[in-house]
Structure 1
Amino acid sequence: MLTDDGKHLYVSWEEYHHLTERLALQVHQSGWEFDQILCLARGGLRPGDVLSRIFDRPLGIMATSSYRDDGGTLQGRLDMAQYITMPKGELVGRVLLVDDLADSGVTLRAVVDRLRSMPAITELKSAVLWVKGVSNYTPDFYVETLPTSPWIHQPFEDYDTLRPDALLKRFQL
């Protein structure tokens, strides 16, 4: 649900899953075949996992981080992991890069540039759930464009502030 001022988008679990499934259908209907999926942690973990299951393709993970200030709402310096985790072998062939969104586009562009410099990758396409209006990068596949570039409140964000002691209180009778 987008707020009246266009500055916040609140997404339920049901909506999140529906968007991920729509992304899978879009990739499928494109006819593009790929060998592996690489998701960006943390935002791309959930959609990457679902797409990996739907397409029955191996899932690799690359950790990136840029949101860390002001409770994770201000973008800072981009950090990219030196290594990519794969279940076996290395990242090769046709690769689908998955993240949750193209916010400013800085992270996706930097990762795409890095991956394109890897000779073992023969073809690379990117997929996200949302593209914000301020993004300087447009993925190959995306479900929604958000012209007002709202802050997206994803359903799992409750865990960002939930700590073990508060969780314990939930389950005490």
Structure 2
Amino acid sequence: MSEPNAQKAFPVSWEQLHRDTRALTWRLTAGERKYKAIVCITRGGLVPALIVARELNIRLIDTICIASYHDYKEQGDSQIMKGIGPELAALAADGGSEILLIDDLVDTGKTARIVRDMLPKAHFATVYAKPMGRPLVDTFVTEVSQDTWIYFPWDMGLSFVPPIVS
């Protein structure tokens, strides 16, 4: 995605992220599938994975570390920095059918395709989805347009905003 557009900004507060992630968890409990482990995609998937793990009482959590946004503005080449650990090897042997993949957002689907290749049978859930990546995830809560930039709470700080009319 190109540089953030102020007209298509979607700021997400900590409270909203928590509510949306709990809503994601409710959707995950609607099915018959039971999960033995969570694999979150770092860094964005860490906070949602924590909330989902708490709500589903899952203690086995691992990370897949893939970097694609190197300058916070444009998506570049994906770099796999860490795959799943040996503790999940047995669960991943069948393609990961008992694994729940968690990320904050599916954007273009670039990262999602890499993870799908690693764990093709895992259930992939994201809090937010954009149209290009949406077909790659099984469950999500909120869809935003492809040209919307989501500002997550860990990327923002409090600052002065001038009045609309001065």
TM-score normalised by the chain length of structure 1: 0.76
Whether contact under 8 Å (2:63, 2:82) holds in the other structure is no
Whether 1:143 aligns to 2:141 is: yes
**Hey, what does 2:61 align to over in structure 1?**
59
Q: CA deviation at 1:110?
A: 1.1
Aligned to 1:37: 38
Query: Aligned residue for 1:158?
Result: 156
Unaligned runs of 5+ in 2: 158-166
Pairwise CA distance, 1:23:
0.4
How has the CA–CA distance of structure 1 residues 4 and 28 changed in structure 2, closer, same or farther, with 3 Å as cutoff?
same
Counterpart CA distance in 1 for 2:36 and 2:113 is: 21
Tell me what 1:80 maps to.
80
For 2:6 and 2:153, locate their aligned partners in 1 and report how far apart those are by CA, in whole Å: 20
Aligned partners of 1:25 and 1:4: how far apart in 2? Answer: 32
Partner of 2:163: none
- Does the 8 Å contact 1:106/1:136 carry over to 2? no
Please state if 1:113 is matched with 2:117: yes
| Pairwise CA distance, 1:150 | 0.5
Q: Give the letter for the 2:73 counterpart.
A: T
Moved over 3 A (4+): none
**Structure-1 separation of matches of 2:110 and 2:126:** 14
Secondary structure, in 3 states, of the residue corresponding to 2:88? coil
TM-score (norm 2): 0.79
AA of the residue aligned to 2:47: R
In structure 2, relative to structure 1, the CA distance for the partners of 1:158 and 1:149 (3 Å cut) is: same
CA distance in 1, matches of 2:83, 2:6: 42
Partner of 2:15: 14
Root mean square deviation of aligned Cα: 2.1
Amino-acid identity (%)? 29
- The answer on whether the counterparts of 1:129 and 1:144 sit within 8 Å (CA) in structure 2 is yes
Of 102-111 and 142-151, deviating more is 142-151
Q: Please tell me the residue identity of whatever aligns with 2:128.
A: W
Instruction: State the aligned residue count.
Output: 146
Say if 1:102 and 1:137, in contact at 8 Å, map to a contact too. Answer: no
Note if contact 1:104-1:137 (Cα within 8 Å) is conserved in structure 2.
Answer: no
